[in-house]
Amino acid sequence: MLPRSRTLPSRIHQGIIEERHNVRHYLQVEVRPNNTQTETEAMNIQSNYSKCFDDDGRLKRTGTFWMATAHIITAVIGSGVLSLAWAVAQLGWVAGPIVMFLFAVVNLYTSNLLTQCYRTGDSVTGHRNYTYMEAVNSILGGKKVKLCGLIQYINLFGVAIGYTIAASVSMMAIKRSNCYHSSHGKDPCHMSSNGYMITFGIAEVIFSQIPDFDQVWWLSIVAAIMSFTYSSVGLSLGVAKVAENKSFKGSLMGISIGTVTQAGTVTSTQKIWRSLQALGAMAFAYSFSIILIEIQDTIKSPPAEHKTMRKATTLSIAVTTVFYLLCGCMGYAAFGDNAPGNLLTGFGFYNPYWLLDIANLAIVIHLVGAYQVFSQPLFAFVEKWSARKWPKSNFVTAEYDIPIPCFGVYQLNFFRLVWRTIFVLLTTLIAMLMPFFNDVVGILGAFGFWPLTVYFPIDMYISQKKIGRWTSRWLGLQLLSASCLIISLLAAVGSMAGVVLDLKTYKPFKTSY
């Protein structure tokens, strides 16, 4: 499974006016015949002020239930949906859909807990938290904030690696589909992914130099269109393949022991590892909690933000789950034990080759922008920390105006140039050393699911609602958290075992696909 994009409209990230306007601007002024002006005493200053600004002094939020639902669906559904057929194939017709449904239920429940942590204290009138990290800092504080930040930034770094692998796989798929078509399937069309990863890395080095990528407001629109384009193509081809076969493939218990795959013959031990890895893939498919607070910060009130967000979360996860089940189950029904790790790049499909090219091009376009959206928070963190550490260093803080024809003036900062370039080079190099698509995504899903989707939302909710220790509610929440921790650990073990297995047949920088 491939990390999906969680791009959001610029309203979530754009600079917001912090200062309050002078209340005199909101006083009605009466002009008298002698040209003297007096403020109308009957004017309700607070009422007029509240029409333009929210209780935190920021411009009125305008987000609605439908907008929030769209944001969540855009954030959740991404290219990772294409690997769900593989994940279902490891678990089978019984456990596959059930596990996917359970992940949806857990995600829905913990997300609803998190919506009540948007405001510290009272969920209606309390202090607003604009980001996930702010909520953790405001409600929990202490070492837990640092732990949350560490997990978040490591996860973002891992996602950048995953995107590099995924983009190169899709670029190779375009080349290979045309090769297969030209040779009528006679040429195996083996090729190395290194050149494609380097190409993607060069593009990201260039895009990374944009100081504030959030200002590219059309990014989320493009990402959403691309996301639904390739997801719909994968689903449609799965349905077409099932119709062609005139039967549903697969078994109740998943991939059979003895099945020959690209990694070799599946043994009983590998069957266990692959099943655990599938858990990580499914866990990652639903993870969007880290941006939930940011989406909630766009919603207007009344009614209270958490009420609107709870409805939006319920509808969006329901839609996402139906879509995931369709894509995963139809892909498994089409290919059975041979379901590829990526429905569009694993060459379960060969024709129509032009449709596959369109779908894979959509993935690449999606990932070029998504890489930046995920990397920008990490870029900003390092650059702000460096500016505080070396405030007098021109290398770190100075910006130089570089005129660019047709584009205006670009503000060059040497630290930003060097640091972001090193970051992209590092993620590209790691991706080239370990281009194991499903394994890397499984690790990311296992690493991020429990702490970010389950542990912190539950811990914040307990603190926010002052739920006493050893009460039935407290015990139930702790049991849920512990169960999800075990699942995350098992998924991590399975994914690491997959990496070890792949390394046995992989030669860095030399292996062709």
Query: Exposed, middle or buried: residue 308 (CB in 10 Å: 0-12, 13-18, 19+)?
Result: buried
The tens digit of pLDDT for each residue in 254-299 reads 888 877 766 667 788 888 888 888 888 788 777 777 778 878 887 8
pLDDT of residue 17: 36
Cα separation, 440 vs 491, in Å, equals 11
pLDDT of residue 57: 66
* Secondary structure element (H or E) that encloses residue 165, with its range: helix 143-183
pLDDT of residue 396: 80
pLDDT of residue 508: 62
What are the average pLDDT values for consecutive 10-residue runs of the chain, which has 513 residues?
46 40 39 46 50 70 78 68 83 90 91 87 79 85 84 82 83 80 67 83 85 58 76 81 82 80 74 84 76 80 83 88 85 82 62 79 82 78 85 82 75 84 91 71 76 90 88 92 90 80 65 54
Cα separation, 221 vs 71, in Å, equals 10
* pTM for the model: 0.75
**C-alpha dihedral sign at 364, 340, 74, 499:** negative
First-to-last alpha carbon distance for the chain, in angstroms, is 18
Domain 66-504 bears CATH identifier 1.10.4160: no
Cα separation, 296 vs 75, in Å, equals 13
Question: Long-range contacts made by residues 267-270, C-beta under 8 angstroms, separation at least 24?
Answer: 270/501
pLDDT of residue 50: 60
pLDDT of residue 480: 92
* Secondary structure element (H or E) that encloses residue 30, with its range: strand 29-31
**Beta carbons within 10 angstroms of residue 297's beta carbon:** 23
Q: Residue ranges of the domains in the chain?
A: 66-504
